[in-house]
């Protein structure tokens, strides 16, 4: 088993992904804001260009020139202090990192990129079209301006997850000839510190608590990690460009005719 870079490795879904992949024999290069926890070997702020480049440089140094996978779990939610922070981490913190590390995947026999998206943001919303387009254009300054002008972390979150999902699907086509698969896991509500912060928020916490998936409960981080583990394995060797919902039926409940 080779090396896999995992962002957001200190807690929540990212930490569980690290734990599971390590148990399967992979060497983990964890990336987070601080070197907290067992798996985080690189401290980098993915909301900034400097932080992203630092993460790329350090990963290149630690992996001896080859990676088998990149798993992008780092993300911020609607309780973030600013809408531009959401855009910076959730979109540019993924796209720049993957672009910078993708050359390290070429020599792998089963190279895989997995991006953590969201069940809440897999379709374009009219009110975020301009913001999403700025991200598609990789114009971070314009995206930040539009995100802040929206005055809504909810809109910024939805746009960032939609944009990164669409980007990953397009990347899967352009990079397939190099033997690299790209997929998205779209979780529903999962019991993580990020989700707990939403439940604790006095502005919308009750709505979050009351929005329950058809299966009748929230997910657990290990259930998302199971999906990631499958997608990076040989068992998923013919799967690329897919969005795998791990949401207890929430997407089917909201968009049964959209698939």
Among candidate residues 39, 91, 92, 157, the one labeled active-site is 157
The contacts found for 198-206 with CB under 8 angstroms, 24 or more apart, are: 198/77, 198/78, 198/79, 201/78, 201/79, 204/78
| Token pair recorded at residue 10 | 């200190």
From the list 46, 45, 44, 34, the residue with the least C-alpha distance to 10 is 34
Asked about 157 being catalytic, the answer comes back as yes
Sheet holding 180-187, edge to edge: 40-43, 27-32, 3-7, 69-72, 111-116, 180-187, 243-246
User: CA dihedral in degrees (117, 121, 167, 144; nearest 10)?
Assistant: -100
Active-site residue list: 157
């Amino acid at each position: 088993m080779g090396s896999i870079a995992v962002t957001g490795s200190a807690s929540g879904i990212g930490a569980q992904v690290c734990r599971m992949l390590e148990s399967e024999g992979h060497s983990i290069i964890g990336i987070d804001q601080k070197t907290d926890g067992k798996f985080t070997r690189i401290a980098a702020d993915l909301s900034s260009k400097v932080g992203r480049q630092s993460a790329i440089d350090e990963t290149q140094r630690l992996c001896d020139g080859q990676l088998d996978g990149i798993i992008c779990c780092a993300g911020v939610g609607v309780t973030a202090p600013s809408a531009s922070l959401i855009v910076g981490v959730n979109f540019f913190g993924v796209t720049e990192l993957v672009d910078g590390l993708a050359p390290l995947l070429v020599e792998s026999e089963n190279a895989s990129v997995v991006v953590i998206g969201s069940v809440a943001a897999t379709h374009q919303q009219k009110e975020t079209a301009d913001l999403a387009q700025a991200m598609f254009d990789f114009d971070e300054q314009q995206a930040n301006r539009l995100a802040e002008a929206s005055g809504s972390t909810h809109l910024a979150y939805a746009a960032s997850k939609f944009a990164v999902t669409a980007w990953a699907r397009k990347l899967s086509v352009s990079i397939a000839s190099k033997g690299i698969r790209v997929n998205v896991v779209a979780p529903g509500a999962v019991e993580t510190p990020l989700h707990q912060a939403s439940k604790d928020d006095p502005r919308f916490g009750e709505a979050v608590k009351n929005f329950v998936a058809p299966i009748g409960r929230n997910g657990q981080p290990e259930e998302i990690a199971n999906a990631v583990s499958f997608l990076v394995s040989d068992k998923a060797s013919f799967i690329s460009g897919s969005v795998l919902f791990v949401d207890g039926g929430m997407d089917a409940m909201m968009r049964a005719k959209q698939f």
